[in-house]
Amino acid sequence: MTAQIIDGKAFAAKVRGQVADGVARLKADHGITPGLAVVLVGEDPASQVYVRNKGVQTEEAGMRSVTHRLDAGVEQIELLNLIYQLNGDDEINGILVQLPLPAHIDASFILDAIDPQKDVDGFHMSNVGRLATGQKAMVPCTPLGCLMMLRDHLGDLSGLNAVVVGRSNIVGKPMAQLLLADNCTVTIAHSRTRDLAAVCRGADILVAAVGRPEMITGDMVKPGATVIDVGINRVGRDGKTRLVGDVDFASASEVAGAITPVPGGVGPMTIACLLANTLTATCRWHNLPEPE
């Protein structure tokens, strides 16, 4: 293996430490404790694990954590009323609705009901528009975590060729917007892209957010490129499973200059960025200087 491993676990711990310091200062100087409300609808096992982890890490950072668990059959209006109640609650600075929502609920309608200033997931239409037009926005946590790792590893990203494989609203598109804002030359690839391998080989920065286990192989990576693997795929059989990314780590790490592992890469950064966004939202709400 030639590639340097980008240690997302260690970086996330550093970010959580910085957030905890910021929270401690807010409390000491202004008597403010940021509050994050997470809304979980239904019993999806993966969502339950995510929500539990979010709650634990929120409290570890010194913030208030509130979890609302609703039955899978909850009426849309009931969920909407909870969002309105949280919008009006002065002790809550961040609201996150855990996705996916059950099919009878219109997810985009619910996400757009969240006060954009409390929208720590950055999925509200006004935050999407603000990010796309270069204005101050709440930025989706996973792509924000990827950007932080890239800046930390590469410094100035200006002029680099970035290829984002995947165009979802929660990862691919906001990732592309962030890289564009950092002056990369950005290509978004997707399932209809012709000669994906050739497109990927043009990338100084290659971000894989596809949802297909180990699809990006070493022959698709430019020598020395920085590879960010967003994918989380559980593979295996007979009760023995393991997590793999969208990148074939074994072959890609022979060619790349640096690469994020799965697990231990992008994943831990996502919750760290959620905490960072909650602190940022609290500072903006109270017109206080934002953490750097």
| Binding site residue list | 166-168, 232
Q: Is 97 or 283 the residue whose CB approaches ligand NDP more closely? A: 97
Q: Cα 266 to chain center, whole Å?
A: 8
Residue 36: CB minimum distance to ligand NDP, A:
17
Burial label for 176, CB within 10 Å (0-12, 13-18, 19+), is: buried
Stretch that binds ligand NDP, among 16-24, 54-62, 124-132, 230-238 (CB under 6 A): 230-238
Of 57, 98, 117, 177, catalytic: 98
Q: Give the separation between CA 163 and CA 176, rounded to whole angstroms.
A: 8
Residue 254: CB minimum distance to ligand NDP, A:
22
180 binds ligand NDP (CB under 6 A): no
φ, ψ dihedrals at 9, nearest 5°: -65, -45
Residue 266: CB minimum distance to ligand NDP, A:
4
Q: Which of 196, 255, 273, 276 forms a contact with ligand NDP (CB under 6 A)?
A: 196
Q: Is 18 or 168 the residue whose CB approaches ligand NDP more closely? A: 168
SS3 100: coil
Beta-bridge partner residues of 69? 40
Q: Is-contact 120 36, C-beta < 8 A?
A: yes
Q: Footprint of ligand NDP on residues 78-107 (CB under 6 A)?
A: none
Instruction: State which residue has the least CB distance to ligand NDP.
Output: 168
Q: Is-contact 282 34, C-beta < 8 A?
A: yes
Of 115, 121, 204, 248, catalytic: 121
Residue 149: CB minimum distance to ligand NDP, A:
11
234 binds ligand NDP (CB under 6 A): no
Assess whether 121 carries a catalytic annotation.
yes
Assess whether 98 carries a catalytic annotation.
yes
Q: Footprint of ligand NDP on residues 138-177 (CB under 6 A)?
A: 142, 165-168, 170-172
Q: Give the separation between CA 146 and CA 160, rounded to whole angstroms.
A: 15
Residue 272: CB minimum distance to ligand NDP, A:
10
Nearest to 76 by CA among 36, 45, 39: 39
231 binds ligand NDP (CB under 6 A): yes
Beta-bridge partner residues of 206? 163, 227
Q: Footprint of ligand NDP on residues 239-268 (CB under 6 A)?
A: 246, 266-267
Question: Annotated binding site for NADP(+), which residues?
Answer: 166-168, 232
Q: Is 50 or 279 the residue whose CB approaches ligand NDP more closely? A: 50
φ, ψ dihedrals at 66, nearest 5°: -125, 130
Assess whether 76 carries a catalytic annotation.
no
Q: Footprint of ligand NDP on residues 17-76 (CB under 6 A)?
A: none
Q: Is 204 or 229 the residue whose CB approaches ligand NDP more closely? A: 229
Active site (catalytic) residues: 54, 98, 121
Residues near ligand NDP, by CB under 6 A? 142, 165-168, 170-172, 189-193, 196, 209-212, 230-233, 246, 266-267, 270
